[in-house]
Chains A and B, each alone.
Chain A
Amino acid sequence: MRHFFTLVRHEIRLLFIAPPTYVASVLFILLMGFIYWAILRSMTLVPQDTSAITQFFSLFWLPVFFTVPLLTMRSIAEEKNQATLQTLFSAPVPKYAIVLSKFFAAYLLYLILWVLTLYFPLITFNLLSDNLSNASLVNASEIIGSLIFISLSGILFIAIGIFTSSLTRSQLVAGMLCFTFLFIICIGGQQLEYATYNYFAQGSFFFEGIQYVNVIRHFEDFSLGILDTRPFVFYLSISILLLSLTVNMIDSKA
């Protein structure tokens, strides 16, 4: 564990001196700010069934597509390219500690970015009158449910980024691979559910299976305050698998 904390500190430092981190952060805050503003604007024009914060978090996949690749593409690909991973291996550090430290550093930054978005409803809450803001702007259960989902799904997304970064020496290729995987995970499940809606009976084994891998459906459950254990198993098991594969990847290329 001693090595792990040392490496996490080191990785966070590397993330904070890396230009892609700032690009990802600025783009993320700008995009999410714009989305929140657009949601508020649409609420003033047309009455909405869902709260602003639920609508806001329901678009979680949009910033994920560029933030996660930008935060993770350097992590292993760059070290492989500069051969500094070999230097790291020459110290008495287990390989899983190296992978986990890269994962946790990127995950921490990912969470910080999402926590920063809470300023949007808080700012609006302070600016608008109480009766409006209480109900539709800051609903604690929706925020907590959404943030739990964001934190849980983030584990998988960052694990995908770390894994794709271990597949190549090129940051660019790693970023593109990460984007492709994330697209399949985020949009693929939903599209598969639409495509097979008329072919499988609702409640059948196949339909349940397709719903199980639909990330957007998971969000809907969490935002309603439904904490099902199945998504936890889904995200954590695939993340552990991907991180184990990453350890094997860097081990085999050592």
Chain B
Amino acid sequence: MDENISISVNNLSKNYGKVSAIKNADFQIKKGEIVGLLGPNGAGKSTTMRILGGLLRADSGSATVCGLSVADNSLAIKRKIGFMQENNPLPEDLRVMEYLKLRAELKEVDSKKLSTEVRRVMDLCDLFRTARRKIIRSLSKGFKQRVGIADALIGSPEIIILDEPTIGLDPHQIQGIRKLIDSLRGKYTVLISSHILSEIERNCDRVIIINHGRVVAMGTKPELSEEFIKENHLRLQVSGNIESLITRLKSAKEDYEIKEEQSEQNDYSTIVIKSTEALDISDYTEIVNQISHCQLKGINLIKPDLEAIFLAATKRSWEEIRIKS
């Protein structure tokens, strides 16, 4: 067993009756990594996380956390994992401090260090000053999420699993949670699930895309973009004699798309050039400059975002499923 691996999942499957929630999932997460588990609703993200957290038993396959089998050591692995569940259920009648103290006791934090530990996680999640004496029911959604994350951090577990930590939050709250997750970098192995792609893109070192219970893609953003985005895109913003430029592109058999037309409100047109081969900015700058009365306002290569990668990966998996059935 590689000591550098925090989580290892091999051929993991889980069915709910006839519905297959996870099918032969395989992935590994290294120590200290922040990994995003991406997928559409019902893809199997929460099921995977609940199995890793020892809350659910898999039907087949194996999962190990810090070298311990999840199936055989459910209590031991719970000591290694801080888990914030989807929708973050909390006992509404308790005060924040009471709840975190209870969780610290249940997570076997040394009684002498209990208060210090609770204070540490409250400071980390910015709860101490503002919310420590508040009843959980009276907290805003953002603060409730903070309480859930503080709970996951109690006892400094090796792995933090956060299931949809930003769901239902406003942009300010999302930014706060994002900063909080960023502060965990390097200290913990973090597995975050979300279908908010920008969140995953900003926070995570690596992404695992899951669809219909299958792992359809895994890797860093450049790796995934290389695997799934076969076309390169270049954006041209031009004004003036657009017609000549289009004629030129047609004659060169370029694949292009006009995204925005020049109008009274918009003093330039946006044209996106697509190619499976590398696109050179200088080549297209020269083409535009050669056309009379055509001015180049802007030119840049479009880097594929996670949304494009996600759509390409899930589309491919649906096509594979359709072919098999």
**A contacts, CB < 8 Å to B:** 2-3, 6-7, 10, 13-14, 17-18, 82-84, 86-94, 254
Contacts and interface: CB of A to CB of B under 8 A. Distances in A.
B84 to A, nearest CB: 8
B120 interface: no
Given A82-B91, A82-B92, 16 more contacts: A2-B108, A18-B93, A82-B89, A83-B85, A83-B87, A83-B89, A84-B91, A86-B89, A87-B85, A87-B89, A87-B151, A89-B54, A90-B53, A90-B54, A91-B103, A94-B75
Contacts of B53: 90
Nearest to A91: B106
Interface of B: 53-56, 75-76, 78-79, 81, 83, 85, 87, 89-93, 98, 102-103, 105-108, 151
A90 B78 CA distance: 6
B90 A92 contact: no
Contacts of A93: 106
B93 A92 contact: no
A86 B85 contact: yes
A92 B105 CA distance: 10
15 contacts: A6-B105, A14-B91, A82-B92, A84-B89, A86-B55, A86-B85, A86-B89, A89-B54, A90-B55, A90-B78, A90-B83, A91-B103, A92-B75, A92-B79, A92-B107
Query: Which secondary structure characterizes the binding site on chain A?
Result: helix
A3 B106 contact: yes
Contacts of A82: 89, 91-92
B69 to A, nearest CB: 15
Contact of B107 (A7, A10, A18, A91): A91
Contacts of B107: 91-92
Contacts of A84: 89-91
Contacts of A2: 105, 108
A18 B108 CA distance: 27
Contact of A92 (B56, B78, B85, B92): B78
B93 A17 contact: yes
A82 B90 CA distance: 8
Contacts of B98: 13
Contact of B102 (A6, A90, A254): A6
Given A90-B78, A92-B75, A254 B56 contact: yes
A14 B76 CA distance: 28
A90 B54 CA distance: 7
Listed residue (A84, A88, A90, A93) with the most chain B CB atoms within 10 angstroms of its CB: A90
Given A6-B105, A10-B102, A89 B55 contact: yes
A90 B85 contact: yes
Nearest to B105: A6
Contacts of B75: 92, 94
Given A14-B93, A84-B89, A92-B79, A254 B106 contact: no
Contacts of A90: 53-55, 78, 81, 83, 85
Nearest to A82: B89
Contacts of B78: 90-92
Contacts of B91: 14, 82, 84, 87
Contacts of B108: 2, 92
A124 to B, nearest CB: 39
